[in-house]
Amino acid sequence: MTEQQAEIDLLFEDAARLAVRTLREQQDRSQPVVRWLEPEELTRALELDLPVEGRGLDSVMELARKTLHFSVRTGHPRFLNQLFGGSDPAAILGEWIATLSNTSMYTYEAAPVGTVVEAALIKKLCNYAGFREGEGVFAPGGSISNLMSVLAARQRAFPHVKQHGLRDNERPVMFASAESHYSIPRAGIICGFGQSATVLVPVDEVGRMRADELERLITEQKKAGAIPFYVAATAGTTVSGAFDPIAEIAAVAQRHDLWMHIDGSYGGSALLSKKHRALLTGSELADSLTWNPHKMMCIPISSSATLMREPGHLVEAMGMNADYLFHQNADLQWNLADRTLQCGRRVDALKLWFSWQVHGDRGFEQRIDQLFDQAHRFRQMIRERPGFRLIREQEGPNVCFRFLPKSQREAHGEERARLEHQATIGIRSQLAQDGSFLINYASLDGAATFRMVANNPTTDDSDLSALLDAIEAEG
């Protein structure tokens, strides 16, 4: 063995030990969720100067330790900040193996294993969605999957655009709920339609798109000379976790010949649960679905499936048939690049495949049920605590709430709303800085609200009541 090979062996043995310790520490409640430093302090702590003369392999383990030391522990039971969390060891291993194999998903020739694994997973996810003849690919995130759905819809409604662009005075319009994710209007911007081409449809009292309003707005747009072609229903909205009424929206879409997409980036995983899949009733009527295993299924980022009910739309919208990749005998079933926005593409399928082997459908179903139950119990705790107030009475995996310290509880109306807004922003920033909890806030109905996300099955009732205690104490 050469000296260099011996050094590489040692490096990866050390790295494996560091991984073991990190995974254990993620679950240790005595450790902070984050060791918060301001950007200037962190820049100094990491000694970011890039050397002209390399420091050799010896230097890398120290960097790895420092990186993990200052990173947010997103697998910690008290990380309740974003729509992802938990850390699935099998999936992490899948991610490592993908990096070790270092290949790209454009052709079967370059990525034989990744290609067949992806095909099997896409088939499985399509079955859950009710897309019997469906097809799809993994994309670098929910935003890109949503963009791909808009491109497929544009191709169906305006087939001339791929070659020639829009015709004069042709004004496509899209629809999504007022609480949908910003990636939908941004997809319209990227397509050159402009942000105003996405009409935001009003929601009901729990944040679901109103199908009657959708119909009214489509008719209004048609009268004004625009061409409605796409509607996105959201299954699990980003802030409040609301599920739009898919079957009702599908009926409107069918009457007006619109492409219907479901942005199930977040809540698509509810399809895995017999108890909660009714939230997506009618999914089989949609033309496309975005589903992110990197959210409720605890797969490391990124894992985002772009699913189509019928085959062919992705290639029609995105295919470029690059000769240097596909040569003469391109078999589009096994050479996937033409279904994507990318050329080179990471092998994202492995981590989900590994995880599915370990947990099976049953294990994932239990995980989703656990997360819904966790949010349900947390809502109950809030109802019972003086000073806390639920903002949305719904059953999704997010809990939006506000808090007022005892001394301010006499306030009413606008004054109360102002105080709650201030308390939310101040308290959550304090919690983040002392590292005890990471919980986000967002604006709902014009004021800040705490948003607790049930994203990690190891978060238990003691964590949730400790969070309320901490908010009270900071307040």
Ligand X SMILES: Cc1ncc(COP(=O)(O)O)c(C=O)c1O
Residues 394-453 that bind ligand X (CB under 6 A): none
- When the beta carbons of 130 and 140 are compared against ligand X, the nearer one is 140
CB 114, min distance to ligand X, A = 20
Does the protein bind ligand X through residue 81 (CB under 6 A)?
A: no
Residues 231-250 that bind ligand X (CB under 6 A): 234, 236-238
What would the x/- binding string for ligand X be over residues 175 to 194, using CB under 6 A? ------x-x-----------
Which residue's CB comes closest to ligand X?
142
- When the beta carbons of 172 and 264 are compared against ligand X, the nearer one is 264
Does the protein bind ligand X through residue 374 (CB under 6 A)?
A: no
Does the protein bind ligand X through residue 229 (CB under 6 A)?
A: no
- When the beta carbons of 141 and 396 are compared against ligand X, the nearer one is 141
The stretch among 11-19, 97-105, 259-267, 365-373 that binds ligand X (CB under 6 A) is 259-267
Across 26-47, b (16+ Cβ under 10 Å) vs e yields beeeeebbbebeeeeeeeeeee
Does the protein bind ligand X through residue 283 (CB under 6 A)?
A: no
- Check the CA dihedral 270-271-276-277 and report its sign: positive
Among 138, 266, 354, 356, binds ligand X (CB under 6 A): 266
CB 303, min distance to ligand X, A = 9
Residue type present at position 179: E
Q: Which two tokens stand for residue 388?
A: 């806390």
How do strand 227-234 and strand 259-264 relate by DSSP bridges? parallel
Which among 261, 297, 304, 299 has a CA at the least distance from the CA of 144?
304
Q: Which class for 261: exposed (0-12), middle (13-18), buried (19 or more C-beta within 10 A)? A: buried
Which among 182, 208, 174 has a CA at the least distance from the CA of 279?
208
User: What one-character DSSP code corresponds to residue 268?
Assistant: G
CB 449, min distance to ligand X, A = 16
- Check the CA dihedral 34-39-44-47 and report its sign: positive
- When the beta carbons of 183 and 394 are compared against ligand X, the nearer one is 183
Q: Which residues pair with 209 in a beta bridge?
A: 203
Answer whether 353's CB lies under 8 Å from 121's CB: yes
Helices (H), 339-403: 349-384
**Cα angle, residue 342 at apex, residues 235 and 112 outer, rounded to 5°:** 95
Q: Which two tokens stand for residue 51?
A: 């050397």
What would the x/- binding string for ligand X be over residues 328 to 357, using CB under 6 A? ------------------------------
Task: Establish how many alpha carbons lie within 13 A of residue 401's alpha carbon, considering only the half-sphere containing its beta carbon.
Answer: 26
The stretch among 122-130, 138-146, 325-333, 396-404 that binds ligand X (CB under 6 A) is 138-146
Residues 140-159 that bind ligand X (CB under 6 A): 141-143, 146
Among 304, 306, 340, 436, binds ligand X (CB under 6 A): 304
Residue type present at position 274: K
Does the protein bind ligand X through residue 198 (CB under 6 A)?
A: no
Does the protein bind ligand X through residue 303 (CB under 6 A)?
A: no
CA–CA dist 368, 267 (Å, integer):
10
CA–CA dist 109, 54 (Å, integer):
35
Size of the site for ligand X (CB under 6 A): 16
Which among 237, 284, 239, 228 has a CA at the least distance from the CA of 263?
237
The stretch among 230-238, 313-321, 416-424, 464-472 that binds ligand X (CB under 6 A) is 230-238
- When the beta carbons of 453 and 471 are compared against ligand X, the nearer one is 453
Residues 11-70 that bind ligand X (CB under 6 A): none
- When the beta carbons of 207 and 457 are compared against ligand X, the nearer one is 207
User: Which positions touch ligand X (CB under 6 A)?
Assistant: 83, 141-143, 146, 181, 183, 234, 236-238, 263, 265-266, 292, 304
